[in-house]
Structure 1
Amino acid sequence: MGYDVTRFQGEVDEDLLCPICSGVLEEPVQAPHCEHAFCNACITQWFSQQQICPVDRTVVTLAHLRPVPRIMRNMLSKLQITCENSVFGCKAVLRLDQLQSHLKDCEHNPKRPVLCEEGCGLEMPKDELLNHNCIKHLRTMVQQQSTKIGELERTAAEHKHQLAEQKRDIQLLKAYMRAIRSANPNLQNLEETIEYNEILEWVNSLQPARVTRWGGMISTPDAVLQAVIKRSLIDSGCPMSIVNDLIENAHERNWPHGLATLETRQMNRRYYENYVAKRIPGKQAVVVMACENQHMGEDMILEPGLVQKESSTRCSKRLRERLEEEEETGSDPSRLRERLEEEEETGSDPSVHLKPWFMQNLIAQNEASIAFICGTHVPCTSES
């Protein structure tokens, strides 16, 4: 629909008026042959009823319409028009081609977006601000968010169910492949390649870790701790084909030769910091893969890897026992007392800060124990 003629300053040329609405042309277009000009909205509505020119009744379709000449557009743009918000108090008179930009910023525009200053910060049209209720809006927003969270939770549950089904399918496929391999040994390399890729992907997904507290590791984990470690391994994406092997090798009875006895651990204690380790998410535990620790020597690594779980509580208890022994023998326990107080104040494990002389005493008294779980050999590299 065109602009109301009464809004313009001075007389408006008849050629700039729409024959359908009798208003000043808005978004004008013209017929190709007769060159009659119309508002785009007016002629579109006209053609929905009949495909002829409203002036001379010649056949015209919507596809035949084209923009009006530039001279007509220039004449329209120079017309002086009042703001459509004049009824709300706006006194502006401006060129027609500046009207749209003015309306966006007109302070009298009842539809101009404004922000609620009462606390909720909602953006709304100015004329809706008087009836706005922040509490009602926030309640609606909370309900919408709760609905969205519920939908996301349902989607996550569906994805989790689908993932579990896919894992079961993979296990069935592996069992099927093993059955085929038993009949055809040539397929053995295919299964090994698949398992290798799974293990490689898992190892590369773990974050690097630098362990400096090898003296506080658990050497004989009980069933509860083994279950915790097993769950952590599964949650981290460890392939199920090696999880049971890892847990079986958590006990010191399965450690490598260089760590099998107290004497060998005491001899090799200076090499512990040279291990390249990866952190198991969510637990104070690391995995040490043989492929990343070839520099340690065959007697210090276990094919294909190790997992170590620290116990700062045990270290704290033994610090107290050592402190009591020092006091009974009349030795100066001040250094031990400082470390113990530091642990109690900060909750940190003082074994990080122990001097070499005290670490040697801990190892000599079977205080430094390292828990290892067998991993899987993956030829990869990692940053220590």
Structure 2
Amino acid sequence: MGYDVERFLGSIDEELKCPICCGVLEDPLQGQRCEHAFCRKCITEWMKTSETCPVDRNSLSSSQLQPIPRIVRNMLNHLSIRCDFIAEGCREVISLEDLSSHKSECKYNPEHPVPCLRDCGALVPKNRLESHDCIKDLRSLICCQQKEIQELKSAITILVSLSEQQKRMASLNNSSLHDLSERYEHLKNSITNLEKPIQQILQLAIRSDSLPSGETGTSIKDKLVEETTLEIYISNVDRCVTAGNLRDYLARNDVNVIACKESLYRGWKSDFRITIFKSDCSKVLDPNLWPRGIVCFVCGEYYSTKTEGNRDPQEPGPDSIVKASPSPWMIS
């Protein structure tokens, strides 16, 4: 329904009135073809029983209704209107555009909240002030607050659980990062150990330019290998140790292994022939690298150099003595 014309100051143009209720247009719509404007509630009720325009009786359906032009909407918004609560004592005159915001703040509004007269601290609509029960309303307020507290507790529990999961993931990421750092350091050390042999190879390659024309590429390759590599002989190794185990053990101790194979099997003991770079010779001859009983020979000049391990091997427990398992000293 439209606004009562008597509430407005000054005359109202007939184009701004609803043809159905004869009041000033409220939330208006217009027909798409005839362009007659109506209050939304008025035309909605009309369309329930008729599909014609109330003014010219031409065909009109709900799908043909549309908002009014902006210029008409601006004319409505600029009209001056008295407050809805003039009977309660409000004498304010505001623009139609500001009527809604004024009603929510008007102190004469029967639903405007005011403090309880009994000082319970509640804000009560004026029209319910006499029937206000402090205890009942406070109990209802407490129930609502308890419900909100339970919801907050549930949310906190979920957040704590998510936080614990993130901490565990962070711990796993830190562990993985630590492993990657160790691998990086090992790779860097390996590269450093290879730099000297590579320099030797480059020097040999440079010297090879001055070789007699009769020498072949194969002899040059053999000389390069002879100059940069070294063969060692590991004796008295437990039979459960394989070539792969031994290669991994030496790699963990920064020894670059070129080749590793078993050369002799003697009962429960084995011997291995291993090719390394000459720059790693001091590492394999370190007695602390090998447990007692294992002997390392440097081949080439009829075992010109040898060393015997002097550290105590870790003894396996009674449940771990399995012939197929690597020796404890290899996995320490």
**Larger CA Rg, structure 1 vs 2:** 2
Which structure features the higher share of strand residues?
Answer: 2
TM-score (norm 2): 0.42
Q: Higher helix fraction: Structure 1 or Structure 2?
A: 1
Higher relative contact order (CA 8 A, sep 6+): 1
